[in-house]
Amino acid sequence: MKTITDIKGTFTLNNGIEMPYFGLGVYLSKDGQEVVNAVKWALDCGYRHIDTASIYKNETGVGKGIKESNVLREEVFVVSKVWNSDQGYETTLRAFEATLDRLGLEYLDLYLIHWPVSGKYKDTWRALEYLYEQKLVRSIGVSNFMEHHLVDLMEESSIVPMVNQMEFHPFLAQQSLLDFCVKNQIQYEAWSPMMQGNIFTIEEFKELAKKYKKSIAQIVLRWDLQKGVITIPKSSKKERIISNADIFDFELDQEDVDKLDSLDKSKRFGPDPDNFDF
């Protein structure tokens, strides 16, 4: 099991880069003061990992929040993603340049392919390999890639993805995909850990919240980390950002981890990586 220490703790990627295992997601945070504040509050609270994407339309605010914080750029692990309509070799390179420009940064810590667009993701990956070789990005990876996508990509690529960011929660653990990623040294990362709010209705979580004297959100985020999965809960509310990070003073018993594992029912709340049309 990977060691979990504190909010600034890291998991080591397959290229030796240290990636903070806890971060702030900014999906749905509005560009401008809302996301600027969220980023500043998170960094003030100790977060050192911010996850955005070009499709979120808030990269400008994320960059501003980092600049206005009291934290040095090199201490923040910044992630963005190339959107589906920008995929392809040349278009990805242009999209990356636009992302850096909006963020006001000289490099990214991690750049991901947002979705496995059929017929395009291999050319997109070649562009990411080029950016990595040029040292414009410290690590590269994918998002929403199933095992067959990863196998297909790795057959023709020279670099194994460092990260796979997936919908991940107790109703959708996809243990075989997680095992495949572990075996191939691809770091697993969770999006939608709260099941779009549905986590708060589950009895097992209510029971564990009482047992550990923690919130339901804190229980599921701790479960993510104990599964060796990086997690990036999203919020633009200061209290929630602070509360989400309060998960380093307790540990779930193995029997409780197993209990949450047993809830898996292959249920998605987001799009299916094998059947999306955007």
Catalytic residue numbers, as ranges: 56
Q: Which two tokens stand for residue 140?
A: 């590269």
Nearest to 20 by CA among 109, 144, 107: 109
